[in-house]
């Protein structure tokens, strides 16, 4: 890595390393999607450390989850491309009420070249929309269908991306990814009105920044740094985040 890149990486990392960590998420039932890698895996580990129960979902491989030996962790396969309900996921949801959801599952949708208009594979496009955006509605449908109204969902966090911001787009690329995250943002805003009115659920979207993960191996900040900041955000005045699209420092991003 060249000196200029190293300095850039250092400054970027420092920006996200300064905040205090004051977690008070404790004894909650927490659903984490896309939990076998990256941000979802780091969140799973951190949230278990804070003495919560985690229901972690994975697409295909669960090897990173299986080696976590913790009685408070249950795992279930849920391929979010599926428009039909996952029986296993539905069964798991029936067993518990969920207090908090971290919706981390996501895919980029192919290379930048694959996402040029000339090369778009529309079947793939549909799948990415299902995984990155629409499946959170399916998950909520399953949870609401579960009829455990004695305890409402408290918080829903959608891990989005600034690539979904229409205002910030100054590049004209990545049609699949950008569309899917813009759709997720729209769903987030809508849910923040709907679910907050009906159940007082706080719903917001986060851009996690440039994080080292399966999707982004060259990312500039480590997933555990990102996750500490996300937990920090939930541990302060979470009510004030309803309906917002924010970065890891809680600063609002244009939709
Ligand atoms: N890393 C960044 O810099 C960055 C920046 C902006 C936004 N984000 C967002 O952050 C979220 C987490 O991504 P990450 O960076 O942690 O990358 P990651 O390590 O690739 O994690 C994404 C997770 O989503 C899962 N997933 C993919 N397809 C799925 C499907 N069909 N059904 C269910 N789960 C599926 C993956 O499972 P498999 O491992 O089995 O594929 C993986 O566990 C994503 O929504 C991403 O768009 C990341």
For the segment 189-196, the average pLDDT, to the nearest whole number, is 97
For residue 158, which phi and psi values (nearest 5 degrees)?
-100, 120
Mutate to test the pocket of ligand 1, among 39, 45, 181 (most ligand atoms within 8 A of CB): 39
Q: Is residue 158 situated within a structural domain?
A: yes
233 and 16 Cβ atoms separated by less than 8 Å: no
Q: Is residue 251 situated within a structural domain?
A: no
Q: What is the pLDDT of residues 206-229, one digit of tens each?
A: 999 999 999 999 999 999 999 999
> Is pLDDT above 80 for 12?
no
CA of 190 to the centre of ligand 1 (A): 23
Question: Which tokens in the block code for residue 158?
Answer: 């959608």
Which atom of ligand 1 is least distant from the CA of 132?
A: 45
> Is pLDDT above 70 for 67?
yes
104 and 38 Cβ atoms separated by less than 8 Å: yes
* Ligand 1, CB within 6 Å, residue ranges: 34, 36-40, 58-61, 78-81, 104-107, 131, 159, 161, 208, 210-211, 213-216, 219
| CATH number of the domain encompassing residue 106 | 3.40.50.720
For the segment 157-163, the average pLDDT, to the nearest whole number, is 98
CA of 142 to the centre of ligand 1 (A): 21
Question: Could you tell me the pLDDT band of residue 55, with boundaries at 50, 70 and 90?
Answer: very high
Q: How many domains is the chain built from?
A: 1
Q: Is residue 6 situated within a structural domain?
A: no
Confidence at residue 18, expressed as pLDDT on a 0 to 100 scale: 55
Confidence at residue 119, expressed as pLDDT on a 0 to 100 scale: 98
Q: Is residue 146 situated within a structural domain?
A: yes
CA of 149 to the centre of ligand 1 (A): 30
Q: What mean pLDDT value characterizes the chain?
A: 92
Q: Is residue 252 situated within a structural domain?
A: no
Q: Is residue 254 situated within a structural domain?
A: no
With a pLDDT cut of 90, the percent of the chain lying above it is: 82
Q: How many residues does the chain have?
A: 255
Mean pLDDT check: name the lowest of 7-21, 74-88, 104-118, 191-205.
7-21
Q: Is residue 8 situated within a structural domain?
A: no
Question: Could you tell me the pLDDT band of residue 150, with boundaries at 50, 70 and 90?
Answer: low
Q: Is residue 9 situated within a structural domain?
A: no
DSSP, residue by residue, the chain:
--HHHHHHHHHHHHHTT-S-------S-EEEEESTTSHHHHHHHHHHHHTT-EEEEEESS--HHHHT---TTEEEEE--TT-SSPPHHHHHHHHT---SEEEE------S-TTTTSGGG--HHHHHHHHIIIIIHHHHHHHHHHHT--TTS---EEEEE--GGG-TTT--S---HHHHHHHHHHHHHHHHHHHHHHHHH--EEEEE---SB-SSS-TT-SB-HHHHHHHHHHHHHS-GGGGTT-EE-TTS-B---
Mean pLDDT check: name the lowest of 8-12, 20-24, 251-255.
20-24
Residue keyed to tokens 């759709």: 183
Q: In angstroms, rounded to a whole number, what is the distance separating the alpha carbons of residues 243 and 82?
A: 27
For the segment 117-128, the average pLDDT, to the nearest whole number, is 98
Ligand 1, atom 18, residue with closest C-alpha: 214
For the segment 120-127, the average pLDDT, to the nearest whole number, is 98
For the segment 132-156, the average pLDDT, to the nearest whole number, is 86
Question: Which residues constitute the domain of residue 85?
Answer: 15-246
Which atom of ligand 1 is least distant from the CA of 82?
A: 31
Higher pLDDT, 95 or 119: 119
């Amino acid at each position: 890595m060249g000196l200029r890149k190293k300095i850039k990486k250092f400054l970027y990392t420092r920006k996200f390393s300064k905040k205090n960590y004051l977690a008070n998420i404790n004894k909650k039932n927490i659903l984490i999607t896309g939990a076998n890698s990256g941000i979802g895996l780091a969140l799973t580990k951190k949230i278990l450390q804070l003495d919560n129960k985690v229901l972690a979902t994975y697409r295909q491989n669960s090897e990173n989850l299986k080696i976590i030996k913790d009685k408070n962790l249950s795992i279930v396969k849920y391929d979010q491309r599926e428009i039909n309900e996952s029986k296993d996921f539905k069964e798991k949801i029936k067993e518990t009420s969920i207090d908090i959801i971290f919706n981390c599952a996501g895919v980029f949708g192919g290379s930048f070249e694959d996402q040029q208009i000339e090369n778009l594979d529309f079947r793939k496009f549909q799948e990415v929309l299902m995984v990155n955006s629409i499946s959170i509605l399916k998950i909520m449908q399953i949870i609401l269908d579960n009829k455990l109204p004695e305890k409402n969902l408290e918080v829903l966090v959608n891990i989005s991306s600034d690539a979904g911001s229409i205002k910030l787009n100054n590049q004209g690329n990545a049609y699949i990814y950008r569309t899917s995250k813009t759709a997720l943002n729209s769903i987030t805003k809508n849910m923040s009105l709907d679910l907050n009115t009906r159940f007082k659920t706080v719903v917001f979207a986060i851009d996690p920044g440039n994080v080292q993960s399966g999707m982004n191996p060259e990312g500039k900040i480590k997933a555990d740094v990102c996750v500490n900041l996300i937990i920090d955000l939930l541990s302060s005045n979470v009510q004030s985040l309803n309906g917002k699209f924010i970065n890891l420092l809680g600063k609002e991003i244009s939709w």
